[in-house]
Structure 1
Amino acid sequence: MATAAESSTAAVYSLFGDKEGLIGAVRDRAVAGLFRALAAAPNSEDPLADIYTLAAAYRRWGHGHSHLYSVLFGGVQSFKPSGVVGTDDPVRPLITAIDRAVTESVLDGEATAIAVSLWVTLHGLVTLELAGALDASTAEAAFRSAIHAMLRGWTAPAVLRSPRHDEPAP
């Protein structure tokens, strides 16, 4: 790392303390970048569309920052949600959108459980994509179907029974 930065190892360690400090700083940069990407996702009148938009933003960020994604989720000082969502926590935009969907009775469940379900789904998909296990068309189809299925699984029964707004009434 020092060579790539055209610096000495001693200079790098004087800035970060040790290897773990350097990795921690990179992890913090990754957390901040993921938060900015999710916080920038637009909101609409449709809470499910907003959650899907956040999922797509997570996926785009993972693809655009695969090196930082691997630092966050690759096992070396990986990001571990504390259970308490801070103001710049990358899951805050997701929790906010899910809370809104639960409040509006669109999703039925506890927001943290829904967020974990979405994160597990997204993480699996993005990790497989970054590893090259899925070609582009398969990955896109898997993303759409997995996110829609996950959201349907948490959708409130009354919403599932109501006529879809994009289908004409009989």
Structure 2
Amino acid sequence: MTSSIVRVARPRKFDETTRSALIRDAAEQILAGGVESVSLRPLAAKHGCSTTAIYTMFGSRDALIAAVREEAVQSYRLAQGSAIADRAPLANLLEMGRASRTWALAYPELYHVMLGRGEAWARTVAEESSARQREYIVEAMRPMNELIRLGIREGSFHDVPVSRIGATLWTGVHGWIAIEMTRPVIPDPEVDADAAYDQHVTALLRAWHVDTPLEHRP
């Protein structure tokens, strides 16, 4: 009598690299067609697993979508945090500006999700609680605002509301990055893009420096 051994395939184990890749791919789906377009089948096929495996990893489709948002903000904050060292607030803000650009160009899908870019994604954001969306932006801006507050306290910046300085830096930095992701900010190919960006961020910081007079209008 011949016996046969039935071999049962072991379930594939997914590491943090696979999890991050799934999040980035889900971010691409969101940008292309909004949250409603997120489909686990193409994600599973791309990564050679079953939809059940994705459910096991994230818990649900909605949890995967939430993970995309959380990953975007946390990854961005990690990049900012790594730029902060034992130096003056203005120098740290310049390094943070550099880190923001480097991160955005390396992870464009997460960057767009964090800022709510893309027509389909913007529609989705508009349908959500505005309070919840503000939480994401406040969280992303927190490290920058903390340095601005420190700069005011140490006398580097004018004593004005942190939100005023923060709005200038945030829109200036991300306006540049948003343009650069689709076309050259400065068309001249002989101009060093890194140096030009540094000059831009330095000018934004100088605008609020105590040595720069504030323009008062009635």
Deviates more, 1:139-148 or 1:31-40: 139-148
Q: Secondary structure at the match of 1:90?
A: helix
Aligned pair count?
A: 155
What is the aligned partner in structure 2 of residue 49 from structure 1? 91
Residue 35 of structure 1 pairs with residue 35 of structure 2: no
Distance across 1 between alignment mates of 2:192 and 2:171? 19
Give runs of ≥4 in structure 1 deviating > 6 Å: none
| Kept after mapping to 2: 8 A contact 1:16/1:25 | no
Equivalent residues in 2 for 1:59-98, closer than 5 Å: 59-73=101-115, 74-75=117-118, 76=121, 80-82=133-135, 89-98=139-148
CA change 1:148–1:84 in 2 (3 A) is closer
- The alignment-based identity, stated in percent, is 27
Distance across 2 between alignment mates of 1:10 and 1:100? 48
Q: Which structure is higher in helix share?
A: 2
* Displacement of 1:11: 5.1
Segments of 5+ residues of structure 1 without an aligned counterpart are 162-170
Correspondence for 1:17 among 60, 69, 73: 60
* Displacement of 1:106: 1.0
| Kept after mapping to 2: 8 A contact 1:114/1:154 | yes
Question: How much is the aligned-residue C-alpha RMSD, in angstroms?
Answer: 2.9
- Which residue type is aligned with residue 110 of structure 1? P
Correspondence for 1:147 among 201, 204, 207: 201
| Kept after mapping to 2: 8 A contact 1:2/1:8 | yes
User: Looking at CA atoms only, which structure, 1 or 2, has the larger radius of gyration?
Assistant: 2
Q: Secondary structure at the match of 2:44?
A: coil
- TM-score (norm: length of structure 2): 0.60
- Which residue type is aligned with residue 165 of structure 2? I
Deviates more, 1:118-127 or 1:136-145: 136-145
Correspondence for 2:155 among 105, 121, 124: 105
